[in-house]
Amino acid sequence: MKLAARAARRQMRGVLHLIKLSVGPKDVGALRVIQERRVQADPPLRHLTRMMPKRAEELLDGGSIYWVVAGLLCVRQRLLDIRTEPGKDGTDHAALILDPTLVPVEARRMKPFQGWRYLEGGAIPPDIGAGTVAQGIEDLPPALLRELKALCLL
């Protein structure tokens, strides 16, 4: 398919994303550490899930996986590829190949759910750009500022 037609089609329908609970890590910093260990031990960085997304082609057309960490949807990673790999039990799983860069997004509370869900349209939280500073942030104590930065919340 020609690039112009593909871009126009994507603009019309928007980009499709996934949302997934991050089970285990208590904060984004812990998620980052776990992923760094995984990519060093067995590259590329990937997340295995039992179900293959039926809309994989759409996801790979600019989509990301949005992580819910400790009840907050707060960070995303670009999806680079989706392929089939055996899981620990030997059965085929979907391997979501991820860009290692964690991009902070405007946080919102999320109730627990199983598996993953599609995320599209107006439900997508905006990225928090580098250098974005919340109003009044300069009035916080230095120790709190350091902790918020360590948790990737600033």
- CA–centroid distance for 29 within its chain: 14
Instruction: Give the C-alpha separation, 113 to 129, whole Å.
Output: 28
C-alpha distances in Å from residue 57, one per residue of 31, 34, 46, 60, 92 = 26, 28, 17, 5, 19
C-alpha distances in Å from residue 2, one per residue of 5, 7, 10, 18 = 5, 9, 12, 26
pLDDT in tens, 39-91: 999 999 999 999 999 999 999 999 999 999 999 999 999 999 999 999 889 99
More confident: 60 or 143 = 60
Q: What is the DSSP letter of 138?
A: G
The 10 Å Cβ neighbour count of residue 68 is 22
- pLDDT attached to residue 9: 45
Look at residue 117 and tell me whether its pLDDT is greater than 90: yes
